[in-house]
Amino acid sequence: MKRFERLEGLIAAPFTPMHEYGSLNLDIIPDYYKLLKRNKVIGAFINGSTGEGVSQTGEEKKQVIQAWSEATKGDSEFKVINLVGGTSLAESVEMASFSEEMGLFGIAYTSPYYFKPATARVLADCCTQVAAAAPNIAFYYYHIPVLTGCNVTMLDLLNTVNGSIPNFAGIKYTHEDFMDFLSCIYQEGGRYDMLWGRDENMLSALALGSFGAVGSTFNYAAPLYLDMIEAFKRGELLKARDLQKRSIDIIRLLGKYGGITVGKAYMKLIGLDCGKFRLPLQNMSPEQYESFSKDVAAIGFDELRSV
Amino acid sequence: MKRFERLEGLIAAPFTPMHEYGSLNLDIIPDYYKLLKRNKVIGAFINGSTGEGVSQTGEEKKQVIQAWSEATKGDSEFKVINLVGGTSLAESVEMASFSEEMGLFGIAYTSPYYFKPATARVLADCCTQVAAAAPNIAFYYYHIPVLTGCNVTMLDLLNTVNGSIPNFAGIKYTHEDFMDFLSCIYQEGGRYDMLWGRDENMLSALALGSFGAVGSTFNYAAPLYLDMIEAFKRGELLKARDLQKRSIDIIRLLGKYGGITVGKAYMKLIGLDCGKFRLPLQNMSPEQYESFSKDVAAIGFDELRSV
Amino acid sequence: MKRFERLEGLIAAPFTPMHEYGSLNLDIIPDYYKLLKRNKVIGAFINGSTGEGVSQTGEEKKQVIQAWSEATKGDSEFKVINLVGGTSLAESVEMASFSEEMGLFGIAYTSPYYFKPATARVLADCCTQVAAAAPNIAFYYYHIPVLTGCNVTMLDLLNTVNGSIPNFAGIKYTHEDFMDFLSCIYQEGGRYDMLWGRDENMLSALALGSFGAVGSTFNYAAPLYLDMIEAFKRGELLKARDLQKRSIDIIRLLGKYGGITVGKAYMKLIGLDCGKFRLPLQNMSPEQYESFSKDVAAIGFDELRSV
Amino acid sequence: MKRFERLEGLIAAPFTPMHEYGSLNLDIIPDYYKLLKRNKVIGAFINGSTGEGVSQTGEEKKQVIQAWSEATKGDSEFKVINLVGGTSLAESVEMASFSEEMGLFGIAYTSPYYFKPATARVLADCCTQVAAAAPNIAFYYYHIPVLTGCNVTMLDLLNTVNGSIPNFAGIKYTHEDFMDFLSCIYQEGGRYDMLWGRDENMLSALALGSFGAVGSTFNYAAPLYLDMIEAFKRGELLKARDLQKRSIDIIRLLGKYGGITVGKAYMKLIGLDCGKFRLPLQNMSPEQYESFSKDVAAIGFDELRSV
């Protein structure tokens, strides 16, 4: 059984920067990395949901990996994890192998989402093949049933894997089943790194002892979350709640203006233009952007944003 | 706007005691009340999901109300709240009025579950009529979308009600949407009493400042939860987590042996035989009960149970 | 095993007539009955979804039963079936017994919809108790999973019942699972009366040999469906399709203007004012009604409506 | 607006043949083609759900296209349609272009299934880009919401497209919404080719005038369906129903033994060994296969199978 460094702190799930007509804009990734560092973010979860991995070609995903690998070279404190999920196991395997070759800290894998694994056994078999293609780096399972439609619980997955995947380091948990989440924290003496993936509920995960998190709003509002973690650690719960409430104010605007794509609008506001999302996601209209900008001012985003 | 006492502590959702062939066994309710008092439970949420209100006739529900009213007479510290929900508004209204007449502390109402309200406006209109039928006692909305199929968020409901229901005291929140839950806590300066309804996740709700809870496992494992609350308040998070994990061990056996009906098996174990659940719920077979008893011993239930 | 008359033709699911402020308006039921007869409808499925049985009190449902019983007395050709479903088995049993006492042709029962039966066995046990309370009249199961949330297939139910309920006459099938539907038609040599419950897809059910149907649009557009059945029987498929398409035009306006409540607006148009639906359903605003009236003209409703 | 030949008859969705350890076995595709021809199947829908397109790499899908293109060269009566769906629009576009280059009859495209289009507008925009990459061949939308999770109705899609995609030939409709299906048949004077995709309900689609179908069971039981169509056309409905019932007997064994993968077991029975399905799908165990073989004999598969 390998032991990987336990991740404590904020790991951003970066947006994939695009030019105006939708091609990759990799030139700004060094700046993106510096922004995250400046804001004490400790890693990047690339090609994930926020990074639109599924909307890219295999070739593009490799370019993104390469760009992050180069931008972060020499900074072993900064962990880059690449999502290799997809519906073709062979493609996931190839991407896993490439991720290790590029010197990333780890890979993540999510359930196939067209045909869904019917049992924990099948899902574990998929994980086994992918993890084996990057045997020297950390493997995380990415649990996001609302998008994959795979409803295997993580406790069932861990019980089925049962230590048979040496580099299985943990789970990025993007779901509200706190009972399953806490059960995984207690699994096998606490050996799994359970990374919380719902920024709007982070305080509830902190209470369960989860101090590592992967999220999209850490791209543009990292200080808020670091303050929340500090407040929680000092026992200042009222302050922590206030900060969680302000995080919710930020996230509520995502719902109001069309979902995940609103994140790139926040990025524009803080000065790192990542372009737009690709189809099948919808970007705000100019009118919506104007209204959004006003709402952003009303919630006091300037006090909380990344700098 | 009326002000009702804020509920801090454990409110049990009692099982409705039945004789062997399924008729009500109201004679043991005084003992039930004493059991809860002995275990520092501060109230009873009767005729709810755990109490099989939906499986009883209107007449039976009135008998249950009456029995709890009599058993708790003179104990103003102990709050009895009766669920008046149903699909017929007129029947809910009648039951609300009867609850006030019987001197209960409050009523709860849940969304109609055959036809589901399409908007927060419709749900608020239903609440208005029911709350008005018991104007001098506390009104709680009971949010349990997994059973009602009504997906109106509670923030939308509160925004729509907007103070227009004078005795709207709070919400029994049985759902994992912590973002919505925290938003409701912050609503209108914190005027609503937000009672947590998922025992297996209580620690995550404590972190958000919710110190009142309504649950079924408080019937037979109240000391565990009181210890958890105390540990949390003292900042002993490791201990609180361990206790939450042990609560999950108890609750996992519900899933393993058939769900909500397993609760009556726990009651039998602690010495208050409440009989069985009615159709359409399924009770354990004798073989299952035997296996369940072994599992119960294995999780150390005896150290945690109500006494 | 009892044999009941097989139902061929249209059975309307009547609206429950209401006065302006929502009380029952039973005086017009004799006229309602005459309207159905005039349009060659062969029966009435009362207190169903269309009849808002769930939104009435038990007492009101009995009054509705009595009114239909009296209005149709002496007309053995006209079959009245009363839905006795609910979440309390005891109340369903009582209503079943009352239905038989009032001389109705049959009863229907649907799955409990708060707690949902987990297996076909449990659902069959519920059916057994209810059917036994009206042993001399026909028992139909009413399959409408979109409202009850009970996903037991009807083939599983029939296999589980396996002839053990002597008065189990058939199923009102309101769901699009034609594979399950045809399987039930073939069950036990075709002994079950399979009544189709989705007016918008009746032609697809006719092809499978189902010539009895229960629906809400037969209240106000019976001639259209009788023409469709005749055309189908004569092998005039193009004509049958055109009529099904026109039925869809009518039904699409239900979706456009708020669902099931739009039916009472159609009734008003044909001259039998049944008032409004109760909460939690929403009725059209006056502005919507105006717009609806124009749409109704545009689809040529006058040529197809009941007279 | 281009006019493409209307497809009347059976189009099989072929399995992708695999060697024992999961690599493609393209050598048997000429035999596969001959089998289909022998059984009067008029086309092949390749790389679809049955063909496990999602479980293949891009390169593999191209090899499958090429193999079918070569095997069917010179047979303009036999239509090959390639599913180009995926989550990356750029990859779908590339595959569309390759399909045209290889001389296929048409392409099909299904909704992205990780991020789901939120509106008909977005879905139409995706279709526009893909169809434009293969402008001279027929474009079909493949509607299979149970797998994609995209719930845009086809009537909404057609209304939104509104004739703006010149090669939009029709829809492969794999869903039970017959109201939507018939509405699409009537759309724009019937210009769209509506191909039915649920073999177990084909008779209900025939009644609506749909004489083209795409299905997986046509691979191994084509004669049954051709007989059904003939019987229906001659007005022999009892016979058509009996055949549909027998088709259901065949399909019920899919459900019993694990779903779509059972199809390859049927192929083995008729003598064309296509190997196994890839992960995340599960294949039968040897014990299951033995039990399956007995069930197959019991339903009289030998009388109905492809030869």
The chains in contact with chain A, meaning 3 or more Cβ pairs closer than 8 Å, are B, D
Q: Cβ separation of D280 and A54 shorter than 8 Å?
A: no
All residues of chain D having their beta carbon less than 8 Å from the beta carbon of residue C232 are: 207
Closest Cα partner for A106 from A63, A43, A181, A64?
A43
Q: Concatenated DSSP letters for B275-288?
A: --PPTTS-PPPHHH
Q: Where are the beta strands (DSSP E) in A151-267?
A: 168-173, 193-196, 212-215
Q: Cβ separation of C178 and D201 shorter than 8 Å?
A: yes
In terms of Cβ atoms closer than 10 Å to its own Cβ (0-12, 13-18, 19+), residue A137 is: buried
Per-residue pLDDT, averaged over C48-57, amounts to 98
pLDDT of res. A3: 82
Q: How far is B100 from chain A (nearest CA, A)?
A: 36
State pLDDT tens for residues C233-271: 999 999 999 999 999 999 999 999 999 999 999 999 999
Distance CA C189, CA C207 (A): 18
C142 noted as active-site residue: yes
CATH class entry, domain B9-240: alpha beta
Angstrom CA distances, C202 to C35, C79, C108, D203, stand at 22, 20, 20, 13
Question: Mean pLDDT, chain C, as a whole number?
Answer: 97
State pLDDT tens for residues A286-306: 999 999 999 999 999 999 999
- Which amino acid, one-letter code, is at D61? K
Residues in chain A: 307
In terms of Cβ atoms closer than 10 Å to its own Cβ (0-12, 13-18, 19+), residue A45 is: buried
State pLDDT tens for residues C141-193: 999 999 999 999 999 999 999 999 999 999 999 999 999 999 999 999 999 99
Per-residue pLDDT, averaged over C116-123, amounts to 98
Q: Cβ separation of A129 and D88 shorter than 8 Å?
A: no
- Give the 3-state secondary structure of residue D141: strand
Q: How far is B202 from chain C (nearest CA, A)?
A: 24
State pLDDT tens for residues B238-283: 999 999 999 999 999 999 999 999 999 999 999 999 999 999 999 9
Residues of chain B with pLDDT under 70: 1
Question: Mean pLDDT, chain A, as a whole number?
Answer: 97
Phi/psi region, residue D163 (left: phi>0; alpha: psi -120 to 50; beta: rest), is left
ipTM over 0.95: yes
pLDDT of res. B1: 66
Q: Which of D142, D220, D225, D257 is catalytic?
A: D142
Distance CA C13, CA B251 (A): 44
Q: Cβ separation of D119 and A282 shorter than 8 Å?
A: yes
Q: How far is C280 from chain B (nearest CA, A)?
A: 5
Q: Cβ separation of A201 and B178 shorter than 8 Å?
A: yes
All residues of chain B having their beta carbon less than 8 Å from the beta carbon of residue A183 are: 245, 248
The chains in contact with chain C, meaning 3 or more Cβ pairs closer than 8 Å, are B, D
Q: How far is B189 from chain A (nearest CA, A)?
A: 12
State pLDDT tens for residues D247-258: 999 999 999 999
Cβ atoms of A174 and A142 closer than 8 Å: yes
State pLDDT tens for residues B32-77: 999 999 999 999 999 999 999 999 999 999 999 999 999 999 999 9
Are β-strands C212-215 and C9-12 bridged in parallel, bridged antiparallel, or unpaired? parallel
Q: How many CB pairs below 8 A link A and B?
A: 72
Buried b (16+ CB within 10 A) or exposed e, B253-275: bbeebbebbbbbbbbbbbebebb
Cβ atoms of B150 and B177 closer than 8 Å: no
Instruction: Give φ, ψ of A18 to 5 degrees.
Output: -125, 150
State pLDDT tens for residues A221-255: 999 999 999 999 999 999 999 999 999 999 999 99
- The proportion of chain A whose per-residue pLDDT surpasses 70, expressed as a percent, equals 100
* Side-chain half-sphere CA neighbours of C198 within 13 A: 21
Question: In this structure, how many other beta carbons lie within 10 angstroms of the beta carbon of residue D66?
Answer: 14
Q: How far is B118 from chain C (nearest CA, A)?
A: 8
Pick the residue of B84, B114, B144, B157 with the most C CBs within 10 A to test the interface with C by mutation. Answer: B114
> First-to-last CA distance in chain C?
40
Residues of chain D with pLDDT under 70: 1
In terms of Cβ atoms closer than 10 Å to its own Cβ (0-12, 13-18, 19+), residue A4 is: middle
All residues of chain A having their beta carbon less than 8 Å from the beta carbon of residue D255 are: none
pLDDT of res. A1: 65
For the annotated catalytic residues of B, the residue numbers are 142, 172
State pLDDT tens for residues A70-79: 999 999 999 9
Distance CA D238, CA A288 (A): 59
Cβ atoms of A53 and A61 closer than 8 Å: yes
**Omega of the bond prior to B280 within 30 degrees of 0, cis?**
yes
- The pLDDT-based confidence of C3 (bands split at 50, 70, 90) is confident
Reported as type and span, the H/E element at residue A30 is helix A29-38
All residues of chain A having their beta carbon less than 8 Å from the beta carbon of residue D149 are: 149
Distance CA D214, CA D228 (A): 15
D73 noted as active-site residue: no
Domain limits, chain B: 9-240
pLDDT tops 90 at residue A120 = yes
Q: Cβ separation of D57 and A88 shorter than 8 Å?
A: yes
Chains B and D touch (3+ CB pairs under 8 A): no
pLDDT of res. B2: 76
Instruction: Give φ, ψ of D188 to 5 degrees.
Output: 45, 50
Instruction: Give φ, ψ of A304 to 5 degrees.
Output: -115, -15
Per the structure block, which two tokens stand in for D286? 């040897």
pLDDT tops 70 at residue C27 = yes
pLDDT tops 70 at residue C1 = no
- The pLDDT-based confidence of C2 (bands split at 50, 70, 90) is confident
Angstrom CA distances, C248 to B123, B274, C200, C205, D151, stand at 30, 52, 6, 15, 19
Distance CA D99, CA D93 (A): 10
